[in-house]
Amino acid sequence: MTLFEKIIAREIPAKIVHEDEKCIAIHDIQPEAPVHILVIPKKAIPRVGAAELEDQSLLGHLLLTAANVARQLDLNAGYRLVINNGPHGGESVPHLHIHLLGGRQLRWPSG
């Protein structure tokens, strides 16, 4: 069971900013920006590269949820969405999630 599955099951506490039947959005415990939220599907998909055609609607839901959370957090000046895939992509938890970063000017390239 991954860290995120334990958070979804309420075995590990988290600061939740959004939850619905398909996903949960929480504050990252090691923020990389003033606002750093993780949008996590409740369905355990290891990474975006492992998603299947049946996950298409869920993936869209995650993106729309991230945009809604950004609006709720007043990130009107802009924000960044990041999905890490695999060890070289920066993946640290093998459970698909979207990083929502904002609250300051973000630089590019990021990494």
Q: Looking at the chain, which runs of residues are DSSP E strands?
A: 16-19, 23-27, 35-41, 79-82, 98-102
Please name every residue paired with 80 in a beta bridge, in sequence order, or none if there are none.
Answer: 101
pLDDT tens-digit readout, 23-64:
999 999 999 999 999 999 999 999 999 999 999 999 999 999
The four Cα atoms 11, 86, 75, 108 give a dihedral, to 10 degrees, of: 150
Residues 66 and 72: their CA atoms lie apart, in Å, by: 10
Residue-range domain boundaries for the chain: 3-102
Mean per-residue pLDDT over the chain, rounded: 96
Coil, strand, or helix at residue 25? strand
User: Which CATH number describes the domain made up of 3-102?
Assistant: 3.30.428.10
Residue 65 main-chain phi, psi, to 5 deg:
-65, -45
Q: What is the pLDDT of residue 86?
A: 92
Q: Using DSSP bridges, classify how beta strands 98-102 and 79-82 pair: parallel, antiparallel or unpaired.
A: antiparallel
Residues belonging to the active site? 97
| The 79-82 sheet, strands edge to edge | 16-19, 23-27, 35-41, 98-102, 79-82
Tens-digit pLDDT profile for residues 54-66 = 999 999 999 999 9
111: confidence class by pLDDT, cuts 50, 70, 90: low
